[in-house]
């Protein structure tokens, strides 16, 4: 009987272990770009630590990035993205060996780390007053889609310091590409940072509040002096150039902000933003009128209990004049107690103002509370209100006449091997009953990630969104997904096997012909060969429901030469539903004089789209 039990036990092991070994998460791949391991650096000079990141699933968690120099955490001073992390050290004076390390996780918890070191030797020359690093590149792109276009691009990126205490960065990109609205695509920007503030000129991206101006591209000047806890920001520039087709007025932006405190602890800001069209910039407009816009904003943040409790608030009040052709004037039915022409420098007052009487209709506000991390939990709550008459011409992404709240929570247990996320949202429009119907949306989403060990990842999620009004809208969108990933290293091949599934159901209770459903399955294998300069990926899947489609994907990369200075790749994706074959290839080569050449090709059979690009880069 004991032999029978042993036989059953080992049989189960033989079945379960291969299945378990078949799945895991793909950790990000990290490469140290600079400095070279063991490099010798002269004392008193800056050192740039640059690390490239690549993650197959594209789910790098930027919040987990940690960069250490000589054991000191310098993460907050680094420039971080999901593709590249750079840190420019202070002038290093200490002679000897210096170490650095960087680690990061993806959203599935897979962790990667790199370590490096360099040496600082005594300077035998005078310290440089001016330092620089950067790159220069040239390239072209041929794109054949609905219309054929050939685009040329030249880039210059340079950064460094002046007199050791002033940092600068210069970013130039010249291209003949044209946007659909005929606005300029080329960018030019110079940033200067010092102990008394920051200065930007060219294509600046100022940010006052979420609902005022928040990263809009302004060609001009952004000056932000800082004197201890008190700071200012002044913005001047052009957001749109005049274009006859489509009719677009030249638009100017003027703004100022007072800032008190530190966003890590206590912060309060007060800002005023003016956006005005140049009514003389178009010769004979037929479909547009010049506008004038004024936004007064205040924002506040407070962090207590060592950052466990966080509070953020902002309020914005706007005034919009929809037609300033006639200039400032009184209203037709009553006379104002002020001379409107005296205030035209600030805002054009006439009968085209929206709204006539300020109030909640032209208010945009947002408030949020964060509790955590505490007891393995972080809870967030956010409420927003945007009135039907609120407008900021410097922020085109705002949806007005909308209010509601969103609450979300993240819990981690079992030494961070279990993550649980959940959220609920509730929004509605027609805040002042100015529409014929009121649309409401309610939804929730949840996600769970399990990491039983360092090689296995299990994840799943679900979301539901209901949208309805009291007339003819009643829809429901349900989505679920699940996946398992396993990492294994067999015979010098580091492989990641993944299985995932997704279900999406759309139901329209008013018009059932709009209903749709999609069920998708994917299984894939990614391999990195230790003894060969080769990486491969293969995926097979099937979609069925409203449209049935077979999915096939293959990709490979081979690195030639001893130092892997020549890299080639070839890939293809086939979908039987649209009868589409997407073919891609690429070549990357290190040339003479430190020039790096990259070329990419893509062709899509069912649409005839063709894209070919080539770019040369030289770092200095």
pLDDT surpassing 80 at residue 63: no
Average pLDDT over residues 97-102: 84
Mean pLDDT value across residues 591-605: 93
- CB-based burial label for 585 (10 Å; 0-12, 13-18, 19+): middle
Residue among 41, 198, 201 nearest 133 (CA): 41
Kindly state the percentage of the chain with pLDDT values over 90.
Answer: 59
pLDDT of residue 2: 42
pLDDT tens readout for residues 458-475: 999 999 999 998 888 899
Burial classification of residue 428, based on how many CB atoms lie within 10 Å of its CB (0-12 exposed, 13-18 middle, 19 or more buried)? middle
What top-level class would CATH report for the domain 2-121?
A: mainly beta
- Res. 54: pLDDT tops 80: no
Helix or strand run (H / E) with residue 201:
strand 197-204
Asked if 536 and 544 touch (Cβ cutoff 8 Å), the reply is no
Model confidence pLDDT, tens digit, residues 393-438? 999 889 999 999 999 999 999 988 999 999 999 999 999 998 989 9
Q: What are the residue ranges of CATH 2.60.40.10 in the chain? A: 2-121
Residues in the chain: 620
Confidence of residue 496 (pLDDT cuts 50, 70, 90): very high
pTM greater than the 0.85 cutoff: no
The token pair at 375 is 């007891």
Measured distance CA(564)–CA(557) in Å, rounded: 11
pLDDT at 586 over 90: yes
pLDDT for res 118: 81
Radius of gyration from C-alpha coordinates of the chain: 29
Once rounded to an integer, what is the mean pLDDT over residues 110-129? 70
Q: What is the pLDDT of residues 522-545, one digit of tens each?
A: 999 999 998 899 999 999 999 999
- Report strand pairing: 580-590 vs 549-560: unpaired
Nearest to 212 by CA among 316, 310, 346: 316
| 8: confidence class by pLDDT, cuts 50, 70, 90 | very low
Q: What is the mean pLDDT of residues 270-284?
A: 95
Percent of the chain with pLDDT over 70: 90
Phi and psi for 418 in degrees, rounded to 5? -140, 120
Q: What is the pLDDT of residue 107?
A: 67
What 3-state DSSP class applies to 257? strand
Lowest mean pLDDT among 55-59, 399-403, 419-423, 548-552: 55-59
- Identify the pLDDT of residue 136: 94
Q: How far apart are CA 551 and CA 31, in angstroms?
A: 32
Tokens of 613: 């690009």
Mean pLDDT over 27-56 rounds to 76
Mean pLDDT of the residues in the chain: 87
Report the distance separating Cα 375 and Cα 305, nearest Å: 14
Among 537, 503, 501, smallest CA distance to 522 is for 501
pLDDT, tens digit, for every residue of 182-200? 888 999 999 999 989 999 9
- Rounded to an integer, the average pLDDT of 584-595 is 92
Residues 6+ apart with CB under 8 A from 228: none
Calpha distance 374→378 (Å, rounded): 7
Q: What are the tens digits of pLDDT across the range 205-226?
A: 999 999 999 989 999 999 999 9
Check whether 4 has a pLDDT greater than 60.
Answer: no
Note the pLDDT of residue 128.
58
């Amino acid at each position: 009987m004991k032999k029978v039990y042993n036989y059953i036990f080992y049989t189960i092991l033989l079945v379960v272990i291969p299945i378990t070994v078949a799945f895991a998460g793909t950790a990000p791949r990290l490469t140290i770009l600079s400095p070279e391991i063991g490099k010798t650096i002269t004392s008193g000079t800056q050192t740039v630590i640059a690390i490239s990141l690549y993650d197959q699933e594209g789910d790098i968690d930027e919040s987990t990035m940690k960069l250490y120099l000589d054991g000191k955490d310098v993460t907050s001073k680094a420039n971080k993205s999901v593709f590249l992390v750079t840190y420019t050290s202070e002038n290093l004076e200490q002679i000897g060996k210096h170490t650095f390390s960087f680690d990061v996780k993806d959203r599935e918890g897979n962790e990667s780390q790199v370590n490096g070191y360099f040496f600082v030797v005594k300077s035998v020359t005078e310290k440089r007053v001016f330092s620089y690093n950067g790159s220069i590149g040239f390239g072209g792109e041929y794109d054949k889609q609905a219309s054929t276009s050939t685009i040329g691009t030249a880039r210059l990126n340079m950064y460094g310091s002046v007199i050791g205490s002033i940092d600068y960065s210069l970013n130039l990109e010249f291209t003949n590409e044209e946007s659909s609205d005929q606005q300029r695509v080329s960018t030019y920007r110079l940033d200067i940072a010092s102990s008394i503030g920051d200065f930007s000129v060219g294509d600046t991206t100022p940010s006052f509040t979420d609902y005022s101006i928040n990263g809009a591209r302004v060609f001009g000047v952004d000056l932000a002096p800082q004197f201890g806890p008190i700071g200012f920001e002044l913005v001047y520039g052009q957001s749109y150039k005049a274009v006859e087709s489509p009719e677009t007025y030249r638009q100017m932006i003027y703004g100022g902000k007072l800032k008190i405190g530190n966003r890590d602890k206590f912060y309060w800001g007060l800002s005023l933003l003016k956006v005005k069209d140049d009514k003389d910039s178009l010769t004979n407009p037929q479909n547009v009128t010049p506008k004038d816009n004024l936004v007064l904003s205040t924002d506040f943040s407070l962090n207590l209990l060592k950052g466990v409790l966080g509070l953020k608030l902002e309020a914005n009040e706007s005034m919009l004049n929809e037609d300033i052709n006639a200039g400032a004037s009184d209203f037709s039915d009553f006379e104002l107690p002020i001379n409107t022409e005296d205030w035209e420098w600030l805002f054009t007052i006439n009968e085209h103002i929206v709204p006539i009487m300020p109030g909640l209709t032209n208010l945009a506000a947002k408030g949020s509370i964060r509790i955590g991390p505490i007891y393995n939990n972080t809870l967030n709550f956010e409420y927003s209100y945007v009135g039907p008459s609120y407008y900021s011409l410097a922020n085109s992404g705002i949806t007005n006449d909308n209010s509601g709240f969103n609450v979300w929570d993240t819990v981690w247990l079992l030494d961070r091997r279990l993550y649980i996320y959940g959220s609920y949202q509730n929004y509605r429009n027609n805040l002042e009953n100015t529409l014929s119907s009121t649309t409401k949306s309610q939804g929730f989403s949840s996600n769970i990630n399990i990491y039983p060990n360092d090689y296995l990842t299990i994840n799943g999620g679900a979301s539901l969104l209901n949208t309805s009004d009291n007339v003819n809208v009643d829809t429901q969108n349900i989505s679920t997904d699940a996946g398992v990933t396993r990492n294994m290293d067999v015979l010098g091949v580091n492989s990641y096997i993944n299985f995932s599934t997704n279900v999406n159901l759309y139901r329209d209770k008013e018009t059932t012909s709009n209903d749709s459903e999609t069920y998708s399955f994917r299984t894939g294998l990614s391999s990195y060969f230790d003894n060969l300069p080769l990486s491969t990926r293969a995926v097979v899947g099937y979609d069925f429901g409203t449209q049935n489609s077979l999915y096939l994907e293959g990709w490979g990369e081979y690195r030639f030469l001893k130092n892997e200075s020549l890299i080639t790749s070839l890939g293809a994706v086939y979908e039987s539903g649209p009868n589409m074959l997407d073919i891609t290839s690429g070549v990357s080569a290190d040339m003479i004089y430190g020039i790096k050449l990259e070329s990419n090709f893509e062709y899509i059979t069912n649409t005839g789209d063709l894209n070919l690009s080539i770019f040369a880069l030289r770092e200095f």
